[in-house]
Structure 1
Amino acid sequence: MLFDLNDLRLFIYVAELKSLTRSAERMHLSLAATSSRIKGLEARFGMRLLYREAKGVKLTPAGETLLHHALTMMQQFSLLKSDMQQYSDEIKGHIRIFANTTAVTEFMPAALATFLRSHPNVNVSLEERLNYDIVRGIQDGAADIGIVAGTVQAQGLEMINFSTDQLTLATSADHPLANQKTVMFSDTLQYEHIGLHEGSTLQHFLDRIVEESGQKLNLRIQVRSFEAMCRMIESEIGIGILPKSAAERYQKSMRIELVALGDPWAVRERSIIYQKDTIVPKYMHDLMDCICGLPSY
């Protein structure tokens, strides 16, 4: 055999961490043993898989191909373990989810609370990612389930639309836009905005809208949560765009006003995506049912 599962797991860590040293620590190996295993892979395939650079390592094109297949093989091995769970209480299932900002902060806590109560032997990893990274993660096998909002290019993936995500403008009570029934996003750009952190799916989406329009978004402050955003808005530091469900919740305890956005993109379909033609464990179907069964947000 060309390699074993530990070789693949090590190679995946090297690709993700871009460091032999950190990968060795993750695998509880010495640096020498880690380097030897990678060199062994390169020798077996007869080609270079990594470029050694001053700041770490980088995959060669051949390394990128190996990474793609390694992720797929590890996913299939994970599914094998999951399917054998019925025969042994000691085997636990695991679901890795990539999701956008709204999913992570707004409705996944409720969905996971319901799911985990009835599936005590299943562990879940939930990571916030951009839409592009979510799709790629599912295609590459790095995640089992993706949750996206809006239009995405998801060739080769199954997609389940389960609810609608409506974005709205939040302002302080005395802001000039507070009395408007509807406003276009472009009309808000003359005012200072409160935004989410740079890794946020929503902020990335708004930045792209502004860039495509040729205008500029004046970000006064960037924060980590919708609650922090609304507190800044209440304090008249700026205005902000956020999901209507979150805005209405914070409006109950804060002096903020909500104004509907007239832009077509303000209403976005939320979808679950996962790989086609793969064996999906029953517990993963159960989790998707929990997500689809949530009240509309």
Structure 2
Amino acid sequence: MYFDLTDLRLILKVVESGNITAAANRSHLSLASASARVRALEASLNTPLFERGRRGVTPTPAGQAMAQHARLILQQVERMQSDLGDYAKGFKGRVRLLGNSSALSEHLPELLADFLVSNPSIDVELEEHPSLRILHALRQGAADIGIISDAVDASDLQTLPFRDDPLALLMPLGHPLAGEETLSFSQALDHEFVGMSANSALALYLEEQSLHVGRRLKIRVRAEGFDAAMRMVARGVGLSVMPQVVLQRWQTPRPFQSVALNDPWAQRRLLLCARDFNALPGYARVLLDALKQG
């Protein structure tokens, strides 16, 4: 069996995206080249790695096993190059960092910018996911570091405190719920909402919380980003839930009202998370130290 690192990276991207075309684009390969590489691997193994369907591909047991080994091999290659230091001239370490909506939009931009300027040999692959998906990726070795909510069970992984990140309920001025000092999420579910994009971590989190009380969010419109949601709330479209830290960027006077949510899950904290902090590659530990100190 013959393969190269491009093959391994491609297999991982096919597994992650469920689509060879998307994986080819992310790997900077033509579709024909990517398909040929997958077929060549399957021929050399004499077993299919993926099941093809109209909506994409799903890994076979052999494909899942190869993806797991590919992650380990690529991680070991990066660790080797990092440990060689000056002998690996031109190598750029790449850290895969996953976070929820609040971490990516509010807590990380300036912190990551300063880190990248100070560390030109390290790149960061940043993706937004709900906390449960981040835990799954960490357990599978598909990410180096995650930033998760403390509302999920990460007892089998290592965690460190990152930020307090409580949620607030926004409402137009004069809304029937205005004037309350605190509210529960269930009290708001009789009213219409400005939601976040359907695939955002916060949107999935709020949908899960509403289902826990046997309700569904009444979404009038979905906004692309917290700023857009605040502007729609200010115009009277409906309620919205977002991290309190977002409100600190809106200059006063505010054309809306905010109320703290008193649900325990809304008093959340963000945690840094990894399978084993000490086992991270050297360049990933440099990023971890920056996140702890930032």
Q: TM-score, normalised by structure 2?
A: 0.89
Matching of residues 1-297 of structure 1 within 5 Å? 3-20=3-20, 23=23, 26=27, 28=29, 31=32, 34-154=34-154, 156-250=156-250, 252=252, 254-276=254-276, 279-294=279-294
- TM-superposed CA distance for 1:155, in Å, is 5.5
The letter of the residue matching 1:114 is: D
Query: Is the CA contact 1:96–1:144 (under 8 Å) kept in the aligned structure 2?
Result: yes
* SS of alignment partner, residue 292 of structure 1: helix
* SS of alignment partner, residue 168 of structure 2: strand
The letter of the residue matching 1:212 is: H
Query: Is the CA contact 1:194–1:220 (under 8 Å) kept in the aligned structure 2?
Result: yes
For residues 218 and 19 of structure 1, do their structure 2 counterparts lie closer, same or farther at Cα, with a shift above 3 Å needed? closer
The separation in 2 between residues aligned to 1:155 and 1:62, in whole angstroms, is 30
For residues 30 and 255 of structure 1, do their structure 2 counterparts lie closer, same or farther at Cα, with a shift above 3 Å needed? closer
The separation in 1 between residues aligned to 2:126 and 2:163, in whole angstroms, is 19
Alignment gaps of 5+ in structure 1: none
Identity, in percent, stands at 34
Query: Is the CA contact 1:251–1:257 (under 8 Å) kept in the aligned structure 2?
Result: no
For residues 93 and 236 of structure 1, do their structure 2 counterparts lie closer, same or farther at Cα, with a shift above 3 Å needed? same
For residues 36 and 186 of structure 1, do their structure 2 counterparts lie closer, same or farther at Cα, with a shift above 3 Å needed? closer
| Bigger Cα displacement from structure 2, 229-238 vs 248-257 | 248-257
* SS of alignment partner, residue 279 of structure 2: coil
The letter of the residue matching 1:223 is: A
The letter of the residue matching 2:215 is: Q
Query: Is the CA contact 2:79–2:282 (under 8 Å) kept in the aligned structure 1?
Result: no
Deviations 1:54-102, CA, capped at 9 Å, x for gaps = 4443211221222122122212212222222333442221111111000
RMSD: 2.4
Q: Count matched residues.
A: 293
Deviations 1:130-166, CA, capped at 9 Å, x for gaps = 2122112222222211111132233542211222110
For residues 175 and 270 of structure 1, do their structure 2 counterparts lie closer, same or farther at Cα, with a shift above 3 Å needed? same
* SS of alignment partner, residue 249 of structure 1: coil
| Bigger Cα displacement from structure 2, 205-214 vs 20-29 | 20-29
- TM-superposed CA distance for 1:44, in Å, is 4.1
Q: TM-score, normalised by structure 1?
A: 0.88
- TM-superposed CA distance for 1:43, in Å, is 4.2
Alignment gaps of 5+ in structure 2: none
Query: Is the CA contact 1:170–1:247 (under 8 Å) kept in the aligned structure 2?
Result: no
| Bigger Cα displacement from structure 2, 11-20 vs 128-137 | 11-20
Query: Is the CA contact 1:114–1:290 (under 8 Å) kept in the aligned structure 2?
Result: no
For residues 70 and 154 of structure 1, do their structure 2 counterparts lie closer, same or farther at Cα, with a shift above 3 Å needed? farther
* SS of alignment partner, residue 166 of structure 2: strand
- TM-superposed CA distance for 1:230, in Å, is 0.9
The separation in 2 between residues aligned to 1:166 and 1:80, in whole angstroms, is 40
- TM-superposed CA distance for 1:232, in Å, is 0.9
- TM-superposed CA distance for 1:24, in Å, is 5.4
The letter of the residue matching 2:283 is: Y
